A = this chain, B = another copy of it.
Amino acid sequence: MRNMTGAPRFLPPKIIEVIIADLVFNVDGLIPAVSQQHDSGEVLMMAWMNTDAVRETLATGHVCYWSRSRQRLWRKGETSGNVQRLIDFRYDCDADTILLLIDQTGAACHTNRPNCFYHAVRPDGVVKLTEPMA
């Protein structure tokens, strides 16, 4: 599907509004979104979306979150170039958590690691599983 400028669109506006109406946002108007690399299955990060972030993600096919610290839309990769291209948008039984299957460019984590979940507990303490990418 293409919009009037010829750019591809991920989903038509009418369906996007149906999905937004079905999702359950918390008292702050946010819903958690877990992202997973679509082919490897690697869980990359967890961030939050508001209705505008969901709308933009589903319209453009590029993942947009809501930054709680900056209180504005956070187009993932807007400064780093490490964008997340949306492959599939899923949500859970209670419609209060999103699972994004994506294709990640570069590092998902702001520490420049491939994913954010690099702390692992071991019998003698916490280890870091990865180092920042070169």
Contacts and interface: CB of A to CB of B under 8 A. Distances in A.
Interface residues of A, number: 43
Given A43-B34, A43-B43, A92 B119 contact: yes
A84 interface: no
Counting every copy of the chain, the complex holds 2
Contact of A11 (B40, B93, B109, B121): B121
A45 interface: yes
Given A32-B32, A97-B116, A45 B92 contact: yes
B93 A109 contact: yes
Interface of A: 1, 11-12, 15, 18-19, 22, 32, 34, 36, 40-43, 45-46, 58, 88-95, 97, 99, 109-111, 113, 116-126, 129
